[in-house]
Structure 1
């Protein structure tokens, strides 16, 4: 045992570290290369749907470069907002991979939001039009806000369109876009698809939702970041995508309920970053996200390093 303190980093503390979206994307790219080289080991995400719209999941990754083990558990509880609570809550444990000793406990909400947007950003670097100016959202919750920050950090955005069932969430997202100096307005789903250069879908993870998005409406050079298991997309329209990349092929192939037909999947992020995937020359492209331990690992490792360098966090004991 040592007398070095275990560090607690709340979501508020993590937000205050000042980590830019592109820093997380860069960390994820480095992690993807580490995974390809056998230096980062991950397991497929575990998930449960225990009823009442709840979605429970966990991830596990071990990295030899940083000598860290990162475990995350998250619960999506749709009844929480009515109780004055965030819909998503969870925790992350960071351990020394050589000894198993606990190094830090982190809130999971900030990392879950921003690592998802950073994963989309990694895919977009290779699949989206670098001159993308119009960003559209179908679903206006936490993921929309983190994607707004990530896309605005990397593209010459001028316009934001937002489509969502909750007026309060939609208006909050539009206000956030206007605060960035962007033209922002509400839109129908069809308007969002036909006018966007980049579209982000993040509807509630509920398989009872009737699909209502038609990929055939997208511009030929459009990029779609799909963070909701493809739930809102009509299955017969998905073949309109010339290139579809998932976060992890092994995870997708072993999933009880695949996000989309296997023959439509071009590969995963590891292959995309490694140059193994040649995007289709014409037709819209997509990144479909299920959730991958690598993203949590990269974001948590980056946050811990920044916290240790700045002294951020609260000691909660020694190891």
Structure 2
């Protein structure tokens, strides 16, 4: 059995290779049972969440254990804490123990970038990053592998934290700046990537302009959402898996309220990867939206790639 710490995971999971591996994975045959979702109640603060995410294929069995603790931001710790176990499919032998936080960050960002490969305009140049957590630099770098990004605008509730992300990104091939007004950040962008833990929509539909692509990463429970109903109703919507329709507020709520119908969800990331959608973006002026909540398929593909490069 081998262990891969965060630095070793990062060295083995460059975004371009992982994006291509995920594309192949979404076309393949991987068993993904429903993930276990447990609320860890807290008194006087937001509840934490524990997720158990299994998956297997003909070669490997994988299991990720995740705890999402919103209060960690006040402690100077990442909100997402995770570990991953990779096992041999035939024997069940434990092959590798992998840092789950780095694995999750890179596979999440790479899945978003894969969706952008199909959905964002090929001439997209400006990326707005909404959120200043651990995922922000990963999402920026992954998106930049798919489009010729020349400007990145970062917004966070705390402008100082947004500036800290700017400093982390110094030396990139694109200009990076912090923006204090969210509406301005959104309005200037071709691609809007959101990675927050908000339960109240941050982005309003009347801010959206023709041709934009929205990448929504943060929400993963029925109570969470990053955009309002109007954003969902005007966009051509794609999701990472069918589970999102019932498990994430920004899709679940408008479906249940009749604001959109099932036909408004045009496909999954597997549909896009397999070429089952003829025209993922109907026109250059269309607004496209990809909502992900994460899937164990992505973890297994990423973990397999780490292990194969040992």
Please give the alpha-carbon distance, in whole angstroms, between the structure 2 residues aligned to 1:129 and 1:30: 22
Q: Distance in 2 between matches of 1:256 and 1:124?
A: 20
**Whole-Å separation in 2 of the counterparts to 1:98 and 1:158:** 47
1:79 paired residue number: 71
Aligned to 1:295: 298
| Shift in CA distance, 256/126, structure 1 to aligned 2, threshold 3 Å | closer
User: How far off its partner does 1:238 sit?
Assistant: 1.6
Counterpart Cα distance in 1 of 2:297 and 2:121: 25
The equivalent of 1:224 in structure 2 is 214
Structure 1 position 129, deviation (Å): 1.2
> For the aligned residues, what is the CA RMSD?
1.9
**Deviates most, 272-281 or 128-137:** 272-281
Q: Which residue in 1 is equivalent to 2:234? A: 240
DSSP-derived class of the 1:200 partner? strand
Contact 1:42 1:293 in 2 (8 A): yes
Aligned 8 A contact 1:223 1:285 in 2: yes
Cα offset, 1:48, TM superposition: 2.3
Please point out which of 7, 21, 31 is paired with 1:12.
7
**1:55 and 1:75 in contact (8 A); partners too:** yes
Judged with a 3 Å threshold, the aligned counterparts in structure 2 of structure 1 residues 26 and 93 are, in CA distance, closer, same or farther, namely: same
Name 2:192's counterpart in structure 1. Answer: 199
Contact 2:54–2:64 (CA under 8 A) maintained in structure 1: yes
Q: Which residue of 2 aligns with 1:108?
A: 100
Q: Does the CA-based 8 Å contact 1:70-1:92 persist in structure 2? A: yes
Cα distance in 1, alignment partners of residues 213 and 94 from structure 2: 40
* Structure 2: distance between partners of 1:290 and 1:79: 20
Contact 1:195-1:219 at 8 Å conserved across structures: no
Residues 51-66 of structure 1 aligned to structure 2 (within 5 Å): 51=41, 52-64=46-58
- The equivalent of 1:143 in structure 2 is 135
Contact 1:219/1:283, CA 8 A, preserved across alignment: no
The counterpart of 1:44, out of the listed 34, 41, 47, is 34
Residue 276 of structure 1 pairs with residue 276 of structure 2: yes
Unaligned segments of structure 2, at least 5 residues: 256-260
Structure with higher RCO (Cα < 8 A, 6+ apart):
1
Aligned length: 290
The yes-or-no answer on 1:154 pairing with 2:157 is: no
The aligned counterpart of 1:23 is 17
* Structure 1 position 179, deviation (Å): 1.9
How much has 1:23 moved relative to structure 2?
0.7
**Residue 42 of structure 1 aligns to a residue in which SS?**
coil
| Bigger mean CA deviation after superposition, 275-284 or 144-153 | 275-284
- Are the aligned partners of 2:244 and 2:292 in contact in 1 as well (CA < 8 Å)? no
Query: SS where residue 97 of structure 2 aligns?
Result: strand
Unaligned runs of 5+ in 1: 1-5, 308-319
Runs of 4+ in structure 1 off by over 4 angstroms are: none
Deviations 1:225-284 (A, max 9, x none): 10022612112332110x2111111x2245385734342311111111122223232421
How many angstroms does 1:153 deviate by?
2.1
